[in-house]
Amino acid sequence: MLFEAMSGLHINMSKSIIYLVNEVPNLENFADIMCCSIGSFPTTYLDTIGCWLQISWGLEWYCGKSLKDDCLPGSNNISHKEARLTLINSVLDSISTYFMPLFPLPANVQNHLDKIRRDFL
């Protein structure tokens, strides 16, 4: 796979699960080719039952049942400036962690991305 070749990481397909969003023809054949299983909603992750929430601006957001009240936009916990900053910062930090090792990134580009993030926050 391209990801494995570029990153040097190995994907354990036996632990991977395909989740349907719409009707997919020949899904069983695709799952057999990819050596993974087929899942269904609601899902479990770290022993918490989760669901996909449709956010008003068209994005989907996955929240665990125990975290649902904290995750929803407009709830008291996420309305605090510190909580929003922490959430935004953790998401923006993960972009470079997961995607940038695949491509050579010059130091000046990384510094520019950090400046954009600081200005945004």
Q: What pLDDT, on the 0 to 100 scale, is given for residue 34?
A: 85
Residue type, 119: D
Q: What pLDDT, on the 0 to 100 scale, is given for residue 23?
A: 80
Q: Tokens 């665990």 label which residue?
A: 64
Mean local confidence (pLDDT), 59-88: 53
| Whole-number Å distance between alpha carbons of 103 and 62 | 28
Q: Is the pLDDT of residue 118 over 70?
A: yes
Q: Is the pLDDT of residue 56 over 50?
A: no
Q: Is the pLDDT of residue 59 over 60?
A: no
